[in-house]
Amino acid sequence: AQSVTQLGSHVSVSEGALVLLRCNYSSSVPPYLFWYVQYPNQGLQLLLKYTSAATLVKGINGFEAEFKKSETSFHLTKPSAHMSDAAEYFCAVSLGEGAQKLVFGQGTRLTINP
């Protein structure tokens, strides 16, 4: 069975600092991996996704993530945090079969300090 673990339910960084949100997955077969962002009182929006084309994936708003099979990780990074990045971030995994059911991590709330 697939599962996703996000390390750290809350992460706080200063504006301009590096953002690193951690995600580890377990899957018996090569998975598809996603990062979604949820701004307050809104639905989820796709940041980026890994579908085996390239291990370093670039997304919207300056975010990127690297798929590391040996570490079963898909950590999300952004070189310089902006106040508008404050949100909750979810990592998700799918086997891509049939209806592509997503299994989500617990979420990480990112706070940006001025």
With CA atoms as reference, report the closest residue to 23 among 113, 60, 101, 31: 31
42 binds another protein (CB under 8 A): yes
102 binds another protein (CB under 8 A): yes
43 binds another protein (CB under 8 A): yes
Cβ closer to another protein: 14 or 45?
45
Cβ closer to another protein: 14 or 106?
106
Residues binding another protein (CB under 8 A): 4, 9, 32, 34, 36, 41-46, 49, 51-52, 90, 94, 96, 98-107
